[in-house]
Chains A and B, each alone.
Chain A
């Protein structure tokens, strides 16, 4: 499904008795047929945004359109699947949980086949007759995803889908969601504080801060490890990056506006100097250009059109890429 699925027009939401809005989204379109990720710390408005998108609450200001029209919850909810961070599973078998929505919607023709298929895809076939609540966190999350996907929604809202699950469940959940998006043309909207997850899922990424969204969230995420298990030097397997401080983690992030491009090697105090080929130039937020340079890792820099003109280079040519060690954020 291409085009805008959700359109937020000056949407804000203020909880009763609270002075400041919990969410103030301004203008935003969420495109169909791809993954959109909202990252941000606790209290940044992620839950409020999901409540809005799932039609549980309506904007206190502005207008939210779904498929180009004002949503009618009783009708449009059928098209939205929700996967919670801590899903509620009915105190019954895995199969009965997955069948619940189908029975509720009287979609029982061919139910056994559909349920078998989705259980199989999520690696749950052998668990079908087990009690859902006796499973591990990752398995329960997969049951909840199966229960949602079997209803064939157009939109999937995922709230921190892999925050409390083991690595194998996480991989399976991510790959199923990605496959669902690419094969079925589904629209996945994910909120997470995990920038690495946002990077793996790709698609459009927004950063939520104090209820406001900006599209500069996860321009650059590098996965890897710190050399020698101490802070300072981060190895992605392709490049080594100097990182200020002693924090350790499995990923480091870099905002596109922190990256400097030059045609000559900079003699400066900047600790990271790389050299690579420009692979892509596209228009980003606020009229800035997003320039992708392959230095062994793809690094995105945002620069003004006049800066790009002064640089005098184009796609396929080589540039120097510099950024300060203090510009990197470590993700644990």
Chain B
């Protein structure tokens, strides 16, 4: 039986209804099979830059930029032989013949998309198995297939693993995963939050609705892992995921559409409040002497979900109309400021998004260094404070940018984003999560 009474209508990224009256719990990371598959793929899928390995071996530049070992080079035709490498790699990674191991050759052999079998991950406790198994198997494969001798095998290791284990992460390596090494996580349960928005935008091929959805899925799933989405707070996160990330009741799309041609951020605030009043989420509390009316609600969690959906719509209007990602922190602060002044009710995540916006504005506008929004993630020191409601908007903003930044998402993401966009569930999460929600609907 459902824990919570909430039912929602599911919509796709173009505002078309997909299913009606679906229990919100069908979108929970604890229940939705597509979300669980997405999380599995994040752990299992690894990107290999074969071209990078070939180049590193040819020049002796291993373990980071400018780190050239003179006189140590190997001419191996890895790209040309990508198919045979992929076959051998698959054999090496496979636990049983019928397991879910997969190695896809992409871009004419320049990249490989590797799916490490779940059995390997299940036999350990760390998500790093995806990376370690791939990197180690790849070293074995190259040594075997190209008959690399004992004196050159170390170069293969350095070209694949980078400077690890001298460094904490595989610096300058050519195998990469969406997830960072655990030592780089800010605290317990942060792993799924440590994914830069550049990756998200590229995986979803810069579809802003899917970018927000994938980011929201990772962020809100992390809330369960961090211990935030439980007890008194579980429903707040479920509604946030549904309304902000997954366009429940078409709220995000409707508000964007309403303001698409001429709307300002202020207009988006007004649309959000109008919709909340119309849907009975908030109502007038009292009229003050000045004529100002403070609003109240019987359901603060749902108000938060409406506000979060409005915030994403506001980002889409502001960053979308300017086709620029840098506007998003300003949206985070002032959407909430304006919404609070308009209603007398707390903004998204009860003030935490506004606070996050202040810090992010400083660190994304060259005031105290930092970087452009594409490098930010939910694990970042200045953007980790909101519990899953800020980063989906950053991901959407990055997706909407037309090329205003020096360090582009493509440059920041390297091969990871492009390679992982080959996984349909990651590329179009809205569709797969909606389908999965309908498939388990009856069971909830």
Q: Is the pairing of A and B real?
A: no
